[in-house]
Amino acid sequence: MERRILLFGKFAAWCYLGLVFAVATAPPARAHLLNMTRCTVLVDTERSLVEVNLKIDFTKLLGDPIAYYEFTQLHPAERSTQQELVIASVEAGLELLVNGDRVRLRNSEFQLPDLPLSKFVEPWAAPMSELSFVGDLSAGSTELYLVSDPRLKIEFPLVVSLQLSGDSDFSITRWLEPGQKSPVLEFEMEVELVETMLVAEQLGRGDSFMGTASRYLVLGFEHILPRGLDHILFVLGLFFLTHRWRPLLVQVSLFTVAHTFTLMFVALGMIPYLPSVVEPLIALSIVYVGIENIWRSQINKLRLVVVFGFGLIHGMGFAGMLGEIGFSRDEFMTALVAFNVGVELGQLVIIGLAYAVCFRLFKYGDYNRLLRIPVNVGISAVAGLWFFQRVWG
């Protein structure tokens, strides 16, 4: 029986280290979704037009960051054919429907970023191009929504804001995954603008508290699982110091309280978010936790102070992503609380999974040698690689 448990421990250790190796040898990771695609759909009822404005990273569509940079350096005459293909790919992959019929879109703007090569290849880079389309609305148009083709090679999630002209304070903003349908924007083409604004206000009130809370709860959870690999490694670093519930929950709770503060302050614009500083510090925090776990196996006051400090740094990372999605003033507190609850649930799931894998090994003397120390070495190694990528990438 004991031999089988030891074999299981070796197997678990190799699985963890295999995952670490896969991450370490993967292309440079972006820790936060700074280069998500933003799409604003503006319905202009006075001119019977719909405008689609995109901020989009063409890295995936063109192949890699260097190809994207080289594309921006071409003379307009030299890149015209490739530019037409890029525009056609985006237009074909974003399906805008009004009353169930697809709107034929015409390109009205194409602007590439004027940035050096370093801004295309660094891990937190978000070299955005601006791409705009216009389409005609018929007199009977009343409902509009957007669907993306899962095969479209853009950075997901797609953050869509549906807006009505003349009401700059109203918009419906959603985070969409590939192939997901946006909410339906209702409007009236044959009424005065004042009445159209009333429709907007009614629709805004229709977005219930539970609807907003559930959206941001899922968003917070997804930012940990499966998207937040750096946060996953940090939480595993907390787990692989000590597996006793009380000190583990104290660490996680301090981490949550700390990142809640900075998330709120950054989201409100009270402190700046500097990805070139925050991203390397997040990686460095994971390196430190993994290394400390190798020579320490018990929690102390210094560890709690360190975890709280690192929570402040990670909170800035959360806020950078949340700020890219945006939310209205009316839903700020709901969004903030729900997002944090989602993050906390994601962290607890990670801890639960770690317990499920390791619980049979806790009472054996070989637990440290077989699993705890090798995993901490792997965590620090991966985070160290990320740190160098984010500083010198």
Picking from 137, 141, 145, the residue whose alpha carbon sits closest to that of residue 180 is 145
Q: How far apart are CA 275 and CA 67, in angstroms?
A: 24
Read off φ and ψ for residue 264, nearest 5 degrees: -65, -45
- Residue 26's pLDDT band (boundaries 50, 70, 90)? very low
> Which tokens hold the place of 138?
């018929």
Q: Is the pLDDT of residue 388 over 70?
A: yes
pLDDT at 121: 82
pLDDT at 205: 40
Other CB atoms within 10 Å distance of the CB of residue 139: 7
Percent of the chain with pLDDT over 70: 81
Mean pLDDT of the region 284-310: 88
Other CB atoms within 10 Å distance of the CB of residue 186: 17
Pair 56, 129: CB distance under 8 Å: yes
Q: Is the pLDDT of residue 72 over 90?
A: yes
pLDDT at 114: 93
Picking from 212, 203, 222, the residue whose alpha carbon sits closest to that of residue 329 is 212
Q: Which residue has the higher pLDDT, 387 or 167?
A: 387
Q: Name the packing angle between helices 209-224 and 229-239 (round to 10°).
A: 70
pLDDT at 368: 77
pLDDT at 373: 86
Q: Is the pLDDT of residue 365 over 80?
A: no
Q: Which residue has the higher pLDDT, 109 or 246?
A: 109
Q: How far apart are CA 381 and CA 43, in angstroms?
A: 50
Pair 113, 127: CB distance under 8 Å: yes
Mean pLDDT of the region 259-269: 83
> Which tokens hold the place of 78?
């030299």
Q: How far apart are CA 235 and CA 23, in angstroms?
A: 16
Mean pLDDT of the region 343-364: 84
> Which tokens hold the place of 377?
């070495």
Tell me the pairing of strands 158-164 and 37-44.
Answer: parallel
Mean pLDDT of the region 219-228: 81
Q: Is the pLDDT of residue 275 over 60?
A: yes
Angle (nearest 5°) at CA 61 between 80 and 280: 120
Picking from 347, 371, 349, the residue whose alpha carbon sits closest to that of residue 360 is 371
Q: Is the pLDDT of residue 49 over 50?
A: yes
Q: How far apart are CA 262 and CA 253, in angstroms?
A: 15
pTM above 0.75, yes or no: no
167: buried, middle or exposed (CB in 10 Å: 19+, 13-18, 0-12)?
middle
pLDDT at 68: 94
> Which tokens hold the place of 320?
């950078």
Other CB atoms within 10 Å distance of the CB of residue 133: 22
Tens digits of residue pLDDT in 167-208: 555 677 888 888 889 888 888 765 443 344 333 333 344 456
> Which tokens hold the place of 355?
């317990």
Q: How far apart are CA 46 and CA 192, in angstroms?
A: 9
CA distances to 145, 281, 368 from 28, in Å: 35, 16, 30
Most distant CA atoms of the chain, gap in Å: 79
Mean pLDDT of the region 289-317: 87
Q: Which residue has the higher pLDDT, 196 or 278?
A: 278
Pair 96, 105: CB distance under 8 Å: yes
Among 18-22, 324-328, 367-371, the range scoring the smallest mean pLDDT is 18-22
Among 12-16, 48-52, 168-172, the range scoring the smallest mean pLDDT is 12-16
Pair 45, 189: CB distance under 8 Å: yes
pLDDT at 334: 85
Q: Is the pLDDT of residue 387 over 60?
A: yes
Point out which residues pair with 131 in neighbouring strands. 54, 110
When the pLDDT of each residue in the chain is averaged and rounded to a whole number, the result is 80
Q: Give the chain's length.
A: 393
Among 142-151, 197-206, 229-238, 341-350, the range scoring the smallest mean pLDDT is 197-206
Read off φ and ψ for residue 186, nearest 5 degrees: -100, 140
pLDDT at 92: 92
Q: Which residue has the higher pLDDT, 224 or 273?
A: 224
Which of left, alpha, beta for 179 (phi over 0: left; psi -120 to 50: alpha)? left
Q: Is the pLDDT of residue 106 over 70?
A: yes
Q: Which residue has the higher pLDDT, 306 or 29?
A: 306
Mean pLDDT of the region 113-118: 90
Mean pLDDT of the region 105-128: 86
> Which tokens hold the place of 316?
């800035």
Q: Is the pLDDT of residue 350 over 50?
A: yes
Q: How far apart are CA 255 and CA 262, in angstroms?
A: 11
Percent of the chain with pLDDT over 90: 26
Mean pLDDT of the region 19-39: 54
pLDDT at 167: 53
